[in-house]
Amino acid sequence: MIKKISLLFLLLIGLQNIHSQGIFTKERLVNRENHDKKKYRWGYYLGINSLDFKIDYEEDRSELEVSKQDIVTNKQIGFNVGLIGNLRLNDFIDLRTEPGVIFNTRTLFFPNIENPRKSQNTRELQTTAVHIPVLIKISTKRLNNFKPFIVGGVSTSINLSSNEDNPDDNSVGEFRMKSNLLNYELGFGIDFFLPYFKFTPSIRGVFSTTNELVEDNAENLPSPYTSPINKLSTRGIFINFTFQ
């Protein structure tokens, strides 16, 4: 995913070089010419997301008497909604925050658990999270009525659907995860200046640095659900559509 975002960054630099050569400099009607000169700007966004897990396994899983088949994440498309606060630092750099709410559902499939009941092989994990990023947005020079940019920073997510404090574990069907996550983010987008507002589609990778796994209770260890896992971390792609 990082390689793909790096290629997009190179594309952004290419667009800036094309502009410097005058290909996009043909004079046109300029929409909202002074929009980005405001020190503070506000807006909102709607979007979709796809969340996955990065799973690091324990080096030795033989004591669990299971094969080394990997756990599978079945993903669904979720959605995001939130607000935008933007502070202009100069013509090319902005500091911004985008507090919002994320909705998604993921299902973990454990191929090593032999049980005639399908419910024992799967765990459905709901995510309803408050997501608060602090980002640096670096833009190119405006190209008539659009302006490419890259964006990156850090964020925290608070999963309101988490069952971290639940005393029950996988012995009764509860796969527990931590509520508070720390992430880093990297993405790119294009500002389109329309006659009445600025519209911005963007794509961003979000990578958790937190080990979200809560081990099963001591009396149920080794657990075929949690003992093979050394670290479980969220990673995802957000596609947002911003209106300012």
Cis peptide upstream of residue 201 (ω within 30 degrees of 0): no
pTM of the shown model: 0.82
Q: What are the tens digits of pLDDT across the range 150-162?
A: 999 999 999 999 8
Q: What is the mean pLDDT of residues 165-191?
A: 94
Lowest mean pLDDT among 26-35, 53-62, 130-139, 205-214: 26-35
Q: What are the tens digits of pLDDT across the range 65-109?
A: 445 678 999 999 999 999 999 999 999 999 999 999 999 999 999
- pLDDT at residue 115, rounded to an integer: 64
Q: What are the tens digits of pLDDT across the range 3-50?
A: 544 444 444 444 444 444 444 445 567 888 888 889 999 999 999 999
- pLDDT at residue 220, rounded to an integer: 86
Lowest mean pLDDT among 84-88, 171-175, 199-203: 171-175
With bands split at pLDDT 50, 70 and 90, how would you rate the model's confidence at 61?
low
- pLDDT at residue 28, rounded to an integer: 64
- pLDDT at residue 119, rounded to an integer: 66
- pLDDT at residue 118, rounded to an integer: 58
Lowest mean pLDDT among 44-53, 98-107, 120-129, 202-211: 120-129
Is 2 a residue whose pLDDT tops 60?
Answer: no
Q: In the chain, pLDDT over 90 holds for what percent of residues?
A: 69
